[in-house]
Amino acid sequence: MDIMVIPSVNEARTDNLANKTVIVIDVLRATSTMLTALAHGCSAIYPVETVMQAKQLQQPGYLLGGERGCKKIPGFDLGNSPFEFMDDQVAGKTIIMTTTNGTRAIQKAFKASTIIAASLLNGKACAKEAAALKRNIVIICSGTQDVYSLEDGICAGQIVEELQNCLQAEGVELNINDFGLSMLYAFRQVQGDMTKALLDCANGRRLCSLGFTEDIIYCSRMNLIRLVPIVQDGKLIASPSINSFERF
């Protein structure tokens, strides 16, 4: 089985994702926040690229969420902090979400057989879901403005390690690209203090400067949630195969 890790959404080629399982990562903060929303009862999330697309999809009862430059979009109900998606406001609701990087990466993967939204919070669960599908896997690190981001690469390394644990035990031979191996080794180097790694990275420093330190601490928690968001009919829902989570 092939496992390819791509450093940023800009390097992903849509046609190369056909018939593959694609795992999209945006640790700070899109995929962490989407996961949190679903874990707290949100029924579905429509990931879109632009603010205009989000407004065009809006219907009575739908919530608009998203950010530009790490800040809530004017006129939207929610920003991109996971703490905004934990209360009863999201339970049973449909959310339309647009972010600078993560939602664009999900849209770019539309030709994949399966699209999974992953973060450090659910890396192990996502690896198990992907391994069970028995297809070649592409992991897309969303990055920031088309440039690689450390936190996404570390999460990719976490998932590669969990895939090794799942598949090698079954005797599956894995072919991991060099960037994927590099991220695996990076993950092993920092897994003992993941919070420090996220606080030190460029996106972590920027979010801290904007007052989102608690977001970073939360997003650094590994395997807190067992729910796996997958794309179905253009929207993210909780995969029926794994649907339990641990509240913190």
Asked whether residue 102 is domain-assigned, the answer is yes
CA angle 97, 36, 183 (to 5 degrees): 90
How far is Cα 136 from Cα 66, in angstroms, rounded to an integer?
A: 31
Average pLDDT over residues 16-26: 98
How far is Cα 236 from Cα 230, in angstroms, rounded to an integer?
A: 5
User: What is the per-residue pLDDT for 87?
Assistant: 84
Residue 248 has pLDDT above 50, yes or no: no
pLDDT digits (tens, 9 = 90+) for 226-235: 999 999 999 9
Asked whether residue 130 is domain-assigned, the answer is yes
Residue 243 has pLDDT above 90, yes or no: no
Average pLDDT over residues 206-224: 98
How far is Cα 152 from Cα 139, in angstroms, rounded to an integer?
A: 10
Distance spanning both ends of the chain, measured CA to CA: 35
Report the CATH number that the domain containing residue 17 is assigned in CATH.
3.90.1560.10
Asked whether residue 244 is domain-assigned, the answer is no
How far is Cα 30 from Cα 45, in angstroms, rounded to an integer?
A: 11
pLDDT digits (tens, 9 = 90+) for 175-199: 999 999 999 999 999 999 999 999 9
CA distances from 131 to 24, 84, 108, 204, 210 (A): 15, 32, 22, 30, 38
Asked whether residue 248 is domain-assigned, the answer is no
How far is Cα 191 from Cα 92, in angstroms, rounded to an integer?
A: 35
How far is Cα 179 from Cα 115, in angstroms, rounded to an integer?
A: 21
Which of 44, 131, 25, 21 is CA-nearest to residue 92? 44
Asked whether residue 14 is domain-assigned, the answer is yes
Token code pair at residue 233: 């009919």
pLDDT digits (tens, 9 = 90+) for 122-157: 999 999 999 999 999 999 999 998 999 999 999 999
CA angle 151, 96, 7 (to 5 degrees): 25
User: What is the per-residue pLDDT for 242?
Assistant: 59
Average of per-residue pLDDT values in the chain: 96
Asked whether residue 246 is domain-assigned, the answer is no
Structural domains in the chain (count): 1
Does a cis peptide bond (omega within 30 degrees of 0) precede residue 29?
yes
Question: Cα–chain-centroid distance for residue 41?
Answer: 18
Asked whether residue 243 is domain-assigned, the answer is no
pLDDT digits (tens, 9 = 90+) for 42-65: 999 999 999 999 999 999 999 999
Decide: 117 and 229 in contact? Cβ < 8 Å: yes
CA angle 235, 82, 154 (to 5 degrees): 85
Residue 245 has pLDDT above 90, yes or no: no
Asked whether residue 174 is domain-assigned, the answer is yes
CA dihedral of 161, 166, 170, 175, whole degrees rounded to 10: -40
Give the domain extent around 151: 2-238
pLDDT digits (tens, 9 = 90+) for 30-42: 999 999 999 999 9
User: What is the per-residue pLDDT for 244?
Assistant: 46
Residue 119 has pLDDT above 50, yes or no: yes
SS3 33: helix
Decide: 41 and 92 in contact? Cβ < 8 Å: yes
How far is Cα 207 from Cα 184, in angstroms, rounded to an integer?
A: 25
Residue 241 has pLDDT above 80, yes or no: no
How far is Cα 48 from Cα 44, in angstroms, rounded to an integer?
A: 13
